[in-house]
Amino acid sequence: MIKYTATTLALVLAAGAFAQTPTMAPDIAAPFNAVTPAADYIRREVMVPMRDGVKLYTVIVMKKGTANGPILLTRTVYNAGKTTARNPSQRITEILPISDAELVSDGYIRVYQDVRGRNQSEGDYVITRPLKGPLNRSATDHSTDAWDTIDWLVKNVPETNGRVAVTGSSYPGFTALMALIDPHPALKAAVPMSPMVDGWIGDDWFHNGAFRQTMLDYFTGQTATKNDEDPVAMGQRDYYAEFLSAGSVGGYIASYGLDALPGGKKLMEHPAYDSWWQGQALDKILGARPLTVPTMLVVGQWDQEDSYGAPAVYRALEPKDTGNKMLSLVIGPRRHSGVNYDGSSLGPLRFNGDTGLQFRRDVMKPFLDSHLKTGAPAFDAPPVFTYAVGADQWQRHERFPAGETVNLYLDDRFSLSLAAPAAKAAHDDYVSDPAHPVPFVPVPVDVRNRAVWSSWLVSDQRHASVRPDVVTYVSQPLKAPLQIHGQPQANLFASTSGTDSDWVVKLIDVFPEENSARPELAGLQLGIGMEIFRGRYVKGFDTPSALTPGKAERYRFLLPGVNHVIPAGHRLMVQVQSSWFPLYDRNPQTFVPNIFTAQPGDYQKAAQGVWRDTLRPSHIAIPIVGGAAAARAALAN
The whole-number average pLDDT for the span 7-35 is: 65
Residue 6 has pLDDT above 60, yes or no: no
What local confidence, expressed as pLDDT, does residue 531 receive?
98
Task: Report how many helices (DSSP H) and strands (DSSP E) the chain contains, helices first.
Answer: 18, 27
Q: Are the CB atoms for 522 and 511 separated by under 8 Å?
A: yes
Band (pLDDT 50/70/90 cuts) for residue 9 is: very low
Domain spans, the chain = 41-200+277-397, 206-276, 404-635
Omega of the bond prior to 158 within 30 degrees of 0, cis?
A: no
Q: Where are the alpha helices (DSSP H) in 105-168?
A: 142-156
CATH fold label, 41-200+277-397: Rossmann fold (3.40.50)
- CB-CB neighbours of 416 under 10 Å: 19
Residue type, 166: V
Distance, CA of 241 to CA of 436 (rounded, Å): 10
Q: What is the pLDDT of residues 540-590, one digit of tens each?
A: 999 999 999 999 999 999 999 999 999 999 999 999 999 999 999 999 999
SS3 call for 330? strand
Q: Between vectors from CA 109 to CA 105 and to CA 114, what angle results, nearest 5°?
A: 125
- Paired residues of 610 in beta bridges: 428, 494
Distance, CA of 159 to CA of 70 (rounded, Å): 9
Q: Which of 276, 237, 619 is nearest to 445 (CA)?
A: 237
State which H helix or E strand residue 451 sits in: helix 450-455
Residue 77 has pLDDT above 50, yes or no: yes
Percent of the chain residues topping a pLDDT of 90: 85
pTM score = 0.94
Q: What is the pLDDT of residues 367-382, one digit of tens each?
A: 999 999 999 999 999 9
The whole-number average pLDDT for the span 74-85 is: 96
Q: Are the CB atoms for 164 and 69 separated by under 8 Å?
A: no
Q: Are the CB atoms for 178 and 148 separated by under 8 Å?
A: no
Q: What is the pLDDT of residues 258-305, one digit of tens each?
A: 888 888 888 899 999 999 999 999 999 999 999 999 999 999 999 999
CATH of domain 404-635: 2.60.120.260
Band (pLDDT 50/70/90 cuts) for residue 634 is: very high
Band (pLDDT 50/70/90 cuts) for residue 5 is: low
When mean pLDDT is compared across 82-96, 214-228, 496-510, 511-525, the lowest value belongs to 214-228
Omega of the bond prior to 582 within 30 degrees of 0, cis?
A: yes
**Residues sharing a CB contact under 8 Å with residue 455, sequence separation 6 or more, in sequence order:** 302, 335, 346, 347
The whole-number average pLDDT for the span 42-70 is: 97
Q: What is the pLDDT of residues 119-151, one digit of tens each?
A: 999 999 998 899 999 999 999 999 999 999 999
CATH fold label, 206-276: alpha-amino acid ester hydrolase ( Helical cap domain) (1.10.3020)
State which H helix or E strand residue 42 sits in: strand 41-49
What local confidence, expressed as pLDDT, does residue 237 receive?
85
What local confidence, expressed as pLDDT, does residue 323 receive?
87
Residue 465 has pLDDT above 50, yes or no: yes
Q: Are the CB atoms for 341 and 350 separated by under 8 Å?
A: no
The whole-number average pLDDT for the span 4-23 is: 59
Q: Which of 527, 425, 409 is nearest to 473 (CA)?
A: 409
Distance, CA of 148 to CA of 319 (rounded, Å): 30
Q: What is the mean pLDDT of the chain?
A: 94
What local confidence, expressed as pLDDT, does residue 516 receive?
87
Q: Between vectors from CA 147 to CA 59 and to CA 99, what angle results, nearest 5°?
A: 45
SS3 call for 78? coil
Q: Are the CB atoms for 112 and 59 separated by under 8 Å?
A: yes
CA-only gyration radius of the chain, Å: 27
Q: Are the CB atoms for 129 and 262 separated by under 8 Å?
A: no
Band (pLDDT 50/70/90 cuts) for residue 17 is: low
Residue 529 has pLDDT above 50, yes or no: yes
- CB-CB neighbours of 548 under 10 Å: 11
Residue 616 has pLDDT above 50, yes or no: yes
